[in-house]
């Protein structure tokens, strides 16, 4: 077998099979429902057809993060870095040094104020992300509560 034949065989095995969708499902919706479908599909970065197919097959597409949410995610990553650096610094201290540090009220108060800011930012971001990822009421079976859209 030549190198070209071997390469061709590897490429043909690695290619994903082409799925031909040639069946059509038609449904009627109101103007408001169509608008909502278009809007939600756009928010998820999907075509209407892909979005409807995903929902009909039981998948729960996630909406793309807004610029505000992406900024929040970046800030959380920076906060995590700070927390890891703090934990690493503490890890390097002896037990006696840790006890002295934690008994120093001014240092602990300053640390608490910084940590409280970080935890508040995390809570705000999580609340924002959870709200943005939920589907409007009435789009699903009222008896079924879906988790995370």
pLDDT tens, N- to C-terminus, the chain (149 residues): 555 555 565 665 667 788 888 898 999 999 999 999 999 999 888 999 989 999 998 888 888 877 887 887 888 888 778 878 888 888 888 989 888 888 888 888 888 887 787 778 777 777 766 665 444 433 444 343 344 44
Q: Within 10 A of 51 (CB to CB), how many other CB atoms are there? A: 20
Q: Per residue in 107-127, pLDDT tens? A: 888 888 877 877 787 777 777
Pair of tokens at residue 149: 């859209």
For residue 92, give Cα distances in angstroms to 28, 82, 103, 104, 106. Answer: 66, 16, 18, 18, 21
Whole-model pTM over 0.85: no
């Amino acid at each position: 077998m030549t190198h070209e034949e071997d390469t061709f065989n590897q490429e043909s095995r690695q290619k994903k099979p082409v799925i031909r969708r040639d069946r059509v499902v038609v449904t009627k919706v109101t103007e408001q429902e169509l608008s909502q479908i278009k809007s939600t599909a756009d928010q998820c970065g999907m075509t209407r057809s892909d979005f409807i197919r995903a929902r009909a097959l039981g998948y729960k597409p996630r909406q793309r993060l807004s610029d505000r949410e992406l900024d929040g995610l970046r800030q959380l990553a920076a906060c995590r870095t700070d927390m890891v650096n703090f934990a690493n610094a503490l890890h390097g201290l002896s037990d006696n040094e840790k006890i002295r540090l934690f008994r120093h009220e001014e240092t602990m108060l300053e640390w608490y104020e910084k940590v409280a800011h970080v935890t508040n930012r995390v809570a705000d971001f999580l609340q924002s992300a959870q709200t943005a990822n939920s589907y409007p009421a009435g789009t699903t079976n009222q008896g079924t509560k879906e988790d995370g859209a």
